[in-house]
Amino acid sequence: MATQIRFGTSGWRAIVADEFTFQNISRAVTGIARVVSGKNPGGSRLIVGRDPRFMGEAFVNLAADILEAHGIQPLILPDATPTPTISWEVMRRKTEGAINFTASHNPPEYNGIKFSTPDGAPALPEVTSQIEAAILEADADGGTPSATTKKPRREEVEGKSHYMERLYEVIDFKAINKAGLKVAFDPMWGAGRGYSDHMLREAGVNVVTVHDTRDVLFGGHAPEPDDHLLEDLRVAMRKEGAQIGIACDGDADRFGIVDGDGTFISPNHIIALLFDYLVESRGWKNGVCKSVATTNLINALAEYHKVELYETPVGFKYIGELVKQDKIAIGGEESAGLTIRHHTPEKDGVLAGLLCCEMMAVRGKSLDEQLKSLFGKVGSYYPQRENFRLTEEVKAKFTKKLQTDPAEFRGMKVAQVVRTDGLKLIFADGSWVAYRLSGTEPVVRVYSEARTEEALKKLAVEARGWIME
């Protein structure tokens, strides 16, 4: 029986040579091709890109063959390309979307397919549902395209320079240069190589780069710019005297930021800092968006700045919709994804790192100093996330538990129940816990936030205990 291909919040991902096989890739691309050609018969174009993972070039060629057979012209980005660059090219070239072979921050044994729609945003559930249905239809009828379809020829295209032009407009590189900022950059062997550091050097900024080679194994671990994987960046910072370290994940849509003293700054806090900075530096007060699992520091800042707050389910596609409508100045998720007004409706780790450099240069303060100043405005907020693997029996029991609306939580009175995505319980002092079950594995994601670090430690213990209670 053929594998059932499902597109989650960021596309379809699987282990190479297990479920991510040439046969299943063919099925997935055929489903995409049928949906695209059905909406725009004849004359359709799709960008096809990839990150630097194993066999990426072969997967791109296979996709191009299938698209050509369905009358869709493949516009191929021959080099490993960041997801935000692909998004920008979709918008700039006005294509019917893009197929991106990437598993983002997942371990090296994974690859995946991410589909972007004509607006450059991640496909919404209604589109991915159509693709999944088209895959099943193709399975049933053999997947053969119409014999009368005219076969277009693929074309290699370049997207890097156009995307960089956009960032030169968005980021104040002159301010970074003037401040004499020293920067360390870690692309984590990924698609972001030659982007952030290149632009900074072009602006005359002193920058040092680590992990600047292609490695399909990403150093033997997931290309995730998280605290425990950024020690090489810290070493380079100490050696060069850099005041900030910036990093991207495998497809450069997520960010990791290290302060001058080597402290990793939580993505939650980075989003809040940049929101505050954009209001201050750009005067943008049209709105702010965060996923329900992202820090309530954003909520407090929205109230402080008198800016409308939007809270969405987890999944950047929901934030992308608000960017397209120009309803927000910035949108972000605690999983290290953000974008800003007049930019791509897609996560952009390159943008995030460079904007942090600008913010530090303009304000002339370390990130920790800026965060303390922010806390001085609206109070302190300390968030964290943990993942727990459950047995199928415990997961089934806990799934039922999540459907209840508890009035009390481990001895604490629940002030508000939020069901935007999963279950979020807010308490009278502003602290909260949230639970989201994975749709693909027996894992529960547990989010906690309290107003002090000590209170967070206690709350996290209670949050874990409630799972097995």
Give the residue extent of every domain in the chain.
Answer: 12-160, 173-378, 382-468
* Whole-structure pTM value: 0.95
Q: Which residue has the tokens 């913010």?
A: 359
pLDDT of residue 361: 98
For domain 12-160, the question of CATH label 3.30.70.120 is answered with no
pLDDT of residue 10: 78
In this structure, the chain runs to a length of 469
pLDDT of residue 265: 98
CATH architecture group of domain 173-378: 3-Layer(aba) Sandwich (3.40)
pLDDT of residue 2: 79
pLDDT of residue 438: 78
Q: Which residue has the tokens 């450069």?
A: 252
pLDDT of residue 431: 97
pLDDT of residue 147: 56
pLDDT of residue 439: 66
pLDDT of residue 150: 74
CA distance 115 to 117: 7
Q: What are phi and psi of 344, to 5 degrees?
A: -75, 145
CA distance 67 to 45: 9
What separation, in Å, do the N-terminal and C-terminal C-alpha atoms of the chain show?
Answer: 39
DSSP 206: E
pLDDT of residue 148: 55
CATH class of 382-468: alpha beta
CA dihedral (50, 56, 60, 66) positive or negative: negative
Sheet holding 309-312, edge to edge: 309-312, 288-291, 330-333, 337-340
CA distance 272 to 123: 26
Do 12-160 and 173-378 come out as alike in CATH topology?
yes
Angle ∠(70,71,74) on CA atoms, nearest 5: 95
All residue ranges of the chain with pLDDT < 50 are none
Q: From the DSSP assignment, how many helices (H) and strands (E) are in the chain?
A: 15, 21
The CA–CA distances, whole Å, from 57 to 51, 71, 80, 107, 189 equal: 9, 21, 9, 19, 16
Q: Which residue has the tokens 């559930």?
A: 125
And the tokens for 172?
């104040």
